[in-house]
């Protein structure tokens, strides 16, 4: 019964996943036989040095790349059983992405960047406006809706990226080094925001990071080394 309940809770299931790259004649196992799952409401971090496999694993979970072997499922749907169109729809509708380089569309305002995925989903105009204005206010960008990325600080741009990631009410937000390009005060403020979204709204987060500030805040810390899970601490206290 306990195992069944855990499967029902799981947002992401990773089962014996390996990702192999060829570098000339050398075979590199970026991810090597990893198995774990992420539950609803997790605030988890993948940590490890460069080359440990954390970004590769995050990209596999996000459906941006396919494993060489093994299976990844999101809300019980295995990526390897879906067409490319179906996988793209899941990325659009059920996964929010936050990147260290923000990845905002430079010619669009903060409002338009946050609204973009809702437009792709075909959400009606009135509903889009209500949701976007509400989310921008929630992430502390009230009054900055009409600013383009080049008119905003790095921290403000990352807040737009967070708004864009959560406005669709995804199953999980994948954040790749979200504090890498901001100063320490801004990083703390962004982590406060994401922690609040997790605690108050139940948003599930999975980070890829080498930033100890992120690791200290995580409820769960999954440490990687040479493409394998070294430790999985599920009982961390939030600092």
Does residue 21 lie in a domain region? no
Does residue 186 lie in a domain region? yes
How far is the C-alpha of 68 from the C-alpha of 132, rounded, in Å?
38
* 96 bridge partner residues: 173
Does residue 119 lie in a domain region? yes
Nearest to 172 by CA among 96, 226, 92, 237: 96
Cα angle vertex 174, ends 125, 69, to 5°? 120
Per-residue pLDDT of the chain (239 residues; tens, 9 = 90+): 344 444 456 899 999 999 999 888 889 999 999 999 999 999 999 999 988 999 999 999 999 999 999 999 999 999 999 999 999 999 999 999 998 889 999 999 999 999 999 999 999 999 999 999 999 999 999 999 999 999 999 999 999 999 999 999 999 999 999 998 889 999 999 999 999 999 999 999 999 999 999 999 999 999 999 999 999 988 655 44
pTM of the predicted structure, to 2 decimals: 0.90
Domain count for the chain, please give it. Answer: 1
Amino acid 94: pLDDT: 95
Does residue 11 lie in a domain region? no
Does residue 28 lie in a domain region? no
What are the start-end ranges of the E strands in 4-87? 10-23, 26-39, 43-47, 69-74, 77-78
Does residue 13 lie in a domain region? no
CATH number at residue 164: 3.40.50.300
Amino acid 24: pLDDT: 86
Burial class of residue 125 in the structure, from the number of CB atoms within 10 Å of its CB (0-12 exposed, 13-18 middle, 19+ buried)? exposed
Does residue 199 lie in a domain region? yes
> What domain range is 88 assigned to?
40-64+81-233
């Amino acid at each position: 019964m306990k195992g069944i309940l855990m499967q029902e809770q799981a947002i992401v299931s990773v089962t014996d996943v390996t990702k192999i790259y060829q570098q000339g004649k050398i075979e590199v196992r970026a991810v090597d036989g990893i198995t774990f799952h992420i539950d609803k409401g997790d605030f988890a971090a993948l940590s490890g040095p460069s080359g440990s496999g954390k970004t590769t694993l995050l990209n596999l979970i996000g459906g941006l790349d396919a494993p060489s072997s093994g299976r990844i499922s999101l809300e019980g749907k295995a990526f390897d059983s879906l067409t490319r169109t179906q996988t793209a729809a899941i990325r659009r509708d059920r996964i929010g992405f936050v990147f260290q380089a923000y990845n905002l569309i430079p010619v669009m305002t903060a409002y338009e960047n946050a609204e973009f995925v809702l437009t792709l989903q075909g959400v009606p105009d009135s509903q889009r406006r209500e949701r976007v204005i509400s989310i921008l206010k929630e992430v502390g960008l009230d009054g900055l809706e009409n600013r383009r990325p080049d008119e905003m600080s790095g921290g403000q741009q990352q807040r737009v990226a967070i708004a864009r990631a959560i406005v669709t009410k995804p199953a999980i937000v994948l954040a790749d080094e979200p504090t890498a390009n901001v100063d320490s005060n801004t990083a703390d403020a962004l982590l406060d925001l994401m922690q609040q979204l997790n605690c108050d709204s139940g948003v599930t987060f999975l980070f890829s990071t080498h930033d100890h500030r992120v690791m200290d805040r995580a409820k769960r810390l999954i440490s990687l080394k040479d493409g394998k899970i070294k430790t999985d601490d599920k009982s961390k206290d939030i600092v």
